[in-house]
Amino acid sequence: MSRAPSICNAFRPAPPPASNCVRAPSDILKLPDPAIYDQTLEIAQGRAPTWDSPDIFTHDVDPLRPLDQIRVILRNNSPDASAFNTQVQVAWSEFGIGMPRVPIGAVRVDLARAGFPGSTKDAFIPPPPAARAQVKFGVFVSIDHPYDRDRTNNKGEQALDVKHTRDVGPNPTFEFPLRNSFADPIEITLLVNNPQNWFFTALVATVAPLSPFFLNPGETRSVSVNIAVPTGTPPGTLGTFSVYATTPLGLLGGVALVVIVD
């Protein structure tokens, strides 16, 4: 004897249709790799990072003044796939480390595959009036593509301050705020990347407060960096010192301090 169908069956969702799609093997997928100079990646690969980014241009340095347009250099590292409609998001902050970021805007860039014309392109966006009014500020760039094969090279930063020895003497001091932007108390270690383009071997750069030290969420401390330029350093020498903060939760950020001997 056959049984009448249950009324509950009428309320059950229909089974999904069978899919004819077959996922391509990973060894034949052709994926783009839009990239920018990424300080976190530099540290992960054992290199000393710079916050005078080779891919982000925000200021003229002599004298220090904001450019009319922030310039961002993008490149596609993939040899076999283009990166069309790569999104470039740009934000800014007060000069310092871990300061709150304010979005500026976003642009889209089309990148050809590596080795072909167009695999490197510039993106431009004007700094907002609030940033220009502060003269020195930080810029943060994040790039995104839905099929990016490597997302470890997608975030770059730039933050510059400049001092001339003709104005401040041979022992310039830089001061800036450092803020814990994480949601937890953290131990912070400050590191200094000495410049590679100085024509001397003796260099003294002291940082206060001494690290490591602890900050609560949102807490800010003032950092002071004193640089001693040795006697006899040739006029025209330019050195860029990157000071950056590492924590158990990751990189907090950094700044580039430029000394011009004149």
- In the chain, where are the structural domains located? 34-260
pLDDT of residue 228: 83
Tokens 């502060």, residue located? 134
User: 10 Å Cβ neighbour count for 105?
Assistant: 11
Amino acid in position 158: Q
* Contact yes or no for 140/125 (Cβ under 8 A): no
Task: Tell me which architecture the domain covering 34-260 has in CATH.
Answer: Sandwich (2.60)
How far, in Å, CA of 190 to CA of 168, rounded?
Answer: 24
Tokens 């011009």, residue located? 260
How far, in Å, CA of 92 to CA of 130, rounded?
Answer: 10
- pLDDT tens for 80-131 read 999 999 999 999 999 999 999 999 999 999 999 999 999 999 999 999 999 9
- pLDDT tens for 47-86 read 989 999 999 999 998 889 999 999 999 999 999 999 999 9
11 versus 240: the higher-pLDDT residue is: 240
| pLDDT at residue 24 is higher than 90 | no
